[in-house]
Amino acid sequence: MITRTAHYIDGQWREAESTQTLPVSNAGDGGPLATVPAGTAAEVDAAVGAARRAFPAWAALDVAERVGFLKLAAEEMQRRQNEIALLMTQEVGMPYATSNVVQVGLPLMNLAAVQQIALDYSFEEKVYNSLVIRKPIGVVASITPWNYPLHQILCKVAPALAVGCTVVAKPSEVAPLNAFVLAEIFETIGLPAGVFNLVCGDGPTVGEAMVAHPDVDMVSFTGSTAAGKRIGEVAAATVKRVALELGGKSPLVVLDDADPVAAVTASANACYLNSGQTCIALTRLIVPASRKAEYEAIATAAAEGVKVGHPLDPTAVIGPVISETQLNRVRDYIAVGIDEGATLLAGGLDPVEGLAEEHAGGYYVRPTVFTDTTPDMRIVKEEIFGPVLVIQTYETEDEAVALANDTVYGLNAGVYSADVDRAVAFARRLDSGQVQINDGAFNIHAPFGGVKQSGNGRELGDAGFEDFLDTTSLQLP
């Protein structure tokens, strides 16, 4: 049992003012894993004050000095990689081998990418008679989710620190332990006091206090669309910059010349990774109507071939969902799909078989496939955030485009075709912040973010770096 009693504010661990704590459960067996402090508005104010005081000196450092701290942080994180991966396996439920590569490896890649961007970036340029300078925006409030928690924190914190901003971070209270380790790493490497601050707590208390605070210059948020809308409302009172990475209901369109097995394999991998708890999960498989039965059979076999098990079981492909709340949400959606008249091909509400008795309390869901769906069904329209795939069919490419774009979201999409040029031409017609062509891998160096109700702003790459900069034009004689 891990007990955290302090927030990290102004370079030191500050004991929580409130005796109220928040429980963290072990996703694999449902038992208690940790308790963390429930922060208050007063602690947010202290953290923001520390960040504000630290900002001038941090922003004045040469970029190479700031990057040096990120390099030291990466080295310390790599030294502790196995420990962090095990911790996150318990928190999130992703199998350990995958967690080591994704939940810790991806943040390490991001730290390396940000260092290079910062060193290569031109903070000034001459535009006719103007000198255009880019300066750090100031104090950044970073509010992050639980599905890829350390990755999401560093998507915000690393570029913010690199450009010269200071940060107050609020991790998800569902999976906060990795953020405490990150704070320990910053303390170990001697990051100046106040540059990074951590206040743990819930959204209505800590999150809202951060967003509303007049000394916060920018809010960078990843989470649900509903929460993002609320952040936009609160932030509008002080007209601060807001960057939002929100929900998705992402389609994978399979064109009629594609290899069905390759396409469905890609769909299953993208849908079921992290037990479906991925904002860019390709959860809608859109296939030619003439080959519907073929795709249904392949998708059923793919889902039934995914081994669900305890996250420390080396044979498990996916583990549990993160919490009892999430388990109930996913099961409710499966029940809704059945009630709506969709045909259940695989998975469903039956419990996962083969679990050891001591793991029976974990939050396990069978990989599920629905077909015979209609665009108005909730399982087609709403983000489930669990291992649930829905099949849709089309007659023409125009209909396929219409089905893919028939969503309030626009975070991710996929296209599969034997002809890459054809797939790219189709992808250009999709309303999405990114589109995966065939087996195109996630690119840590490319801009990431959504359109429509999937958010605004971008993370990663130069665009994510620039989100934390203000621009001033000096008009020269």
Angstrom distance (rounded) from CA 55 to CA 66 = 12
Strands (E), 235-280: 241-245, 250-254
Distance CA 348, CA 73 (A): 43
* DSSP secondary structure, 29-59, as one string: TS-EEEEEE---HHHHHHHHHHHHHHHHHHH
CA distance 406 to 246: 17
CA gap 417, 420 in Å, rounded: 6
Q: Give the relative orientation of helices 63-79 and 177-188 as an angle to the nearest 10 degrees.
A: 120
Catalytic residues: 245, 279
Name the token pair of 179: 């953020």
Distances in Å between the Cα of 326 and the Cα atoms of 137, 235, 336, 420 are 36, 28, 15, 37
DSSP state of 2: E
Instruction: Please report how many Cα atoms fall inside a 13 Å half-sphere around the Cα of residue 457, on the Cβ side.
Output: 23
